[in-house]
């Protein structure tokens, strides 16, 4: 496994990089642990999400918050400063338990919760793919499963503006039972730790064998192709206030 701690300026570039790492892994078998920290707010929907059901489009337009689509499934999230984004790109050829969706959830969330418990964070897995403290969610996760590789990525709320979530996102159309129809602010919590500290805790647990100083050229090329051929499309770049 290789560690990549790299953040592009725009959220859409970072979304494309996650997918490019998956495509590269599918070709080469390489595995990655990646972190990035958004510099600006953005809504990121799942690959089949619907804007009118998941996001407050008028608010996002007013506040210049773009809405993008990611290659994985699941509901919409609001990301931005104080939210640590992570991704694991793993070989299901090397680990057969990753050949099913449930197997991916069990394995990766098991690793993540174990890592955080070592740091004194008493968390558990609940709902579809959430990490929670008590009944408050601090991490949402989703995946994209290919033949020999899986992209499993998610959010970690460390010091995020929780009030902003209700302004940018609608109540999700599909909710886990434990949510009990709570509004966003009553459902989420911050870890109350510095982003850098949480990142180090997770990195220590996964213990990658090497660290990349930059995005590999082959991955960069795949990412640029995705940006040019997919993420310029209205289906993937759903709402971009700066271009209107």
Q: What percent of the chain has pLDDT over 70?
A: 99
d(CA 93, CA 236): 29
Pairing verdict, β 2-5 and 210-212 = parallel
Residue 83 has pLDDT above 70, yes or no: yes
CA atoms of 98 and 100, how far apart (whole Å): 6
Whether residue 159 is predicted with pLDDT greater than 50 in this model: the reply is yes
Which residues does 132 contact at the CB level (< 8 Å), separation at least 6? 123, 124, 125, 126, 138, 139, 178
60 backbone dihedrals φ, ψ, rounded to 5°: -60, -40
- The pTM of the full predicted model, rounded to 2 decimals, is 0.94
The β-bridge relationship of strands 32-36 and 83-91 is: antiparallel
Token couple for 214: 């930059």
Mean local confidence (pLDDT), 42-52 = 95
Averaged over 93-108, what is the pLDDT? 96
Report pLDDT for 242: 64
The mean predicted confidence, pLDDT, of the chain is 95
- Residue ranges per domain, the chain? 2-243
Tokens of residue 8, six digits: 């592009």
How confident is residue 237, by pLDDT bands cut at 50, 70 and 90? confident
pLDDT of residue 226: 97
- Residue 243: which pLDDT band, with cuts at 50, 70 and 90? low
**How far is the CA of 210 from the CAs of 180, 196, 207, in angstroms?**
43, 19, 9
Contact 112, 103 (CB under 8 A): no
CATH annotation of 2-243: 3.30.930.10
CA angle 137, 141, 157 (to 5 degrees): 45
What's the mean pLDDT in 180-185? Answer: 94
- pLDDT score of 218 more than 60: yes
**Could you write out the DSSP letters of every residue in 165-180?**
HHHHBPPPSS--GGGT
Give the phi and the psi of residue 207 in degrees, each rounded to 5.
50, 60
Predicted confidence at residue 233, as pLDDT, reads 86
Instruction: Over range 124-139, report the average pLDDT.
Output: 96
């Amino acid at each position: 496994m290789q560690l990549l701690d790299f953040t592009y300026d725009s959220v859409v570039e970072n979304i494309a990089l996650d997918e490019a790492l998956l495509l590269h892994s599918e070709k080469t078998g390489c595995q990655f642990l990646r972190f990035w920290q958004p510099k600006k707010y953005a809504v990121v929907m799942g690959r089949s999400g619907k804007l009118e059901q998941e996001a407050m489009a008028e608010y996002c337009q007013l506040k210049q918050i773009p809405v993008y689509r990611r290659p994985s499934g699941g509901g919409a999230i609001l990301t931005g400063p104080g939210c640590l984004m992570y991704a694991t790109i793993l070989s299901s050829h090397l680990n057969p338990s990753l050949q099913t969706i449930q197997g991916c959830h069990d394995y990766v969330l098991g690793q993540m919760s174990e890592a955080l418990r070592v740091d004194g964070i008493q968390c558990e897995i609940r709902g579809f793919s959430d990490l929670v403290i008590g009944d408050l969610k601090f991490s949402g996760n989703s995946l994209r499963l290919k033949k020999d590789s899986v992209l499993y990525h998610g959010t970690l709320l460390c010091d995020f503006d929780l009030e902003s979530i209700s302004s940018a996102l609608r109540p999700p159309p599909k909710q886990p039972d434990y949510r009990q129809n709570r509004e966003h602010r009553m459902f989420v919590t911050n870890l109350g730790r510095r982003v850098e500290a949480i990142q180090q805790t997770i990195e220590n647990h996964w213990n990658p064998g090497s660290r990349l100083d930059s995005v590999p050229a082959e991955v960069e090329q795949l990412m640029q192709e995705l940006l040019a051929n997919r993420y310029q499309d209205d289906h993937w770049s759903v709402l971009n206030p700066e271009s209107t």
